[in-house]
Amino acid sequence: MASVYGNIYSFFIGHHLVVVLNDYHSVREALVQQAEVFSDRPRVPIVSLLTREKGIVFAPYGPVWKQQRKFSHSILRHFGLGKLSLEPKIIEEFKYVKEEMQKHGEGPFNPFPIINNAVANIICSLSLGQRFDYTNSEFKKILNFMSRGLEVSLNSQLQLINICSWFYYLPFGPFKELRQIEKDITTFLKKIIRDHRESLDAENPQDFIDMYLLHVDEEKKNNSNSSFNDNYLFYIIGDLFIAGTDTTTNSLLWCLLYMSLNPGIQEKVYEEIERVIGADRAPSLTDKAQMPYTEATIMEVQRLTVVVPLSIPHMTSEKTVLLGYTIPKGTIILPNLWSLHRDPAIWEKPDDFYPNRFLDDQGQLIKKETFIPFGIGKRVCMGEQLAKMELFLMFVSLMQNFTFALPKDSKKPILTGKYGLTLAPHPFNLIISKR
């Protein structure tokens, strides 16, 4: 549509005006230069019913959101980059991934459940202070609920809730299923928060929940109207799970798929790993600086497969003018990150998989400001640092240990992806051989 109507165009969904921003210039102008106006979220009934407009991802923009995001971000930084470094947890988790993959021997297998379990476990250790065995029935159930919940929410019948919100309470079909899923996830997370409450040690907070609960207690003393409470924490943990599992899982799966399709590039990544890390030592974030080709490869996968292709919808909180267009208050804004990362004006041969586009003549990494898979502005992905750590350490560990290929007789995978809340690859099987 942008090729017909230009980089900023609009249409109506029902009576809602939607404006799509298709290039870096307009996205930056809106989300960075006019951040205060463009950082709200549209009120979507199904989302409001499930999140009660709390949490970080979907909550409306305002003072409460700012406080909650700032504090949550500082906890993530504390655990990711602070003394309770997350790196050993990611490396530890990879041992289980390796073990699971090796069970399949030379035979083809679907990597999705293994990668999904691992990524979810990293979020678990960060936020809940524990990891779960992949066979743990409670853990499997919750992961299934989460992916099923996302699937049914995007199912056509449930969209009726957005037209008439009381449909949410219908006692049959996907409506009933969604309420049950919500109930089960709520029970699971609230029990974990309760357990943390009981074992809270102010001197020694172990994870995200502990830090948050201590802050709640602190606030109670000083500020009776504080937005920090156990209930709000529940919605933030839900956000961390849903936003932190689905996206990173899909990024890693896309990496494996592109490596299987490009054995030459896979070999070059392995050569760099062998040169910098060797075969026996586990990778560390300190290796990143000496591994520009590996980083460029991850970035190129992210560029081609932006896992949140239309970002999460924004909304204008007041009337404004954007690059000559008047945009009314309450307009839904879709930053089209997909088209921005395939814009021929910025990227040469944008549809080709070519990691070298992120490297200079000396083979050093080039930071491109037009590469924004995590979004930009006030609503930039809160877990960006965490995701980059996970992607790097998991990807390098996988490449260091295995060669990935597609089964001999398999059809060439479709590379367009399945669009849900995120862009997931269509299911595919892999075969591995040990390095």
Residues making up the annotated binding site are 381
Name the token pair of 412. Answer: 């060439």
* Token pair 């269509």 in the structure block, residue: 426
CB 273 within 8 Å of CB 397: no
Name the token pair of 280. Answer: 């026996």
Strand partners, 16: 13
Strand partners, 334: 20
Q: Is 360 exposed, middle or buried (0-12, 13-18, 19+ CB in 10 A)?
A: exposed
CB 424 within 8 Å of CB 250: yes
Binding positions for heme are 381
Instruction: Classify 8 as helix, strand or coil.
Output: strand
Closest CA to 8 of 324, 312, 315: 324
Helix or strand run (H / E) with residue 17: strand 16-21
Q: How far apart are alpha carbons 101 and 399 in whole angstroms? A: 13
CB 21 within 8 Å of CB 372: no
E-only strand ranges, 215-331: 314-315, 320-322, 325-327
As a three-state string, the secondary structure of 271-299 is HHHHHHCCCCCCCCHHHHHHCHHHHHHHH
CB 24 within 8 Å of CB 370: yes
Helix or strand run (H / E) with residue 89: helix 87-102
CB 90 within 8 Å of CB 393: yes
Name the token pair of 198. Answer: 């009981």
* Diameter over CA atoms, the chain: 66
Exposure of 376 in the CB half-sphere (CA atoms within 13 A): 19
Cβ partners under 8 Å of residue 57, min gap 6: 51, 239, 242, 243, 312
Name the token pair of 212. Answer: 């948050």
Q: How far apart are alpha carbons 87 and 107 in whole angstroms? A: 31
* Token pair 């999705």 in the structure block, residue: 112
* Token pair 């930084």 in the structure block, residue: 77
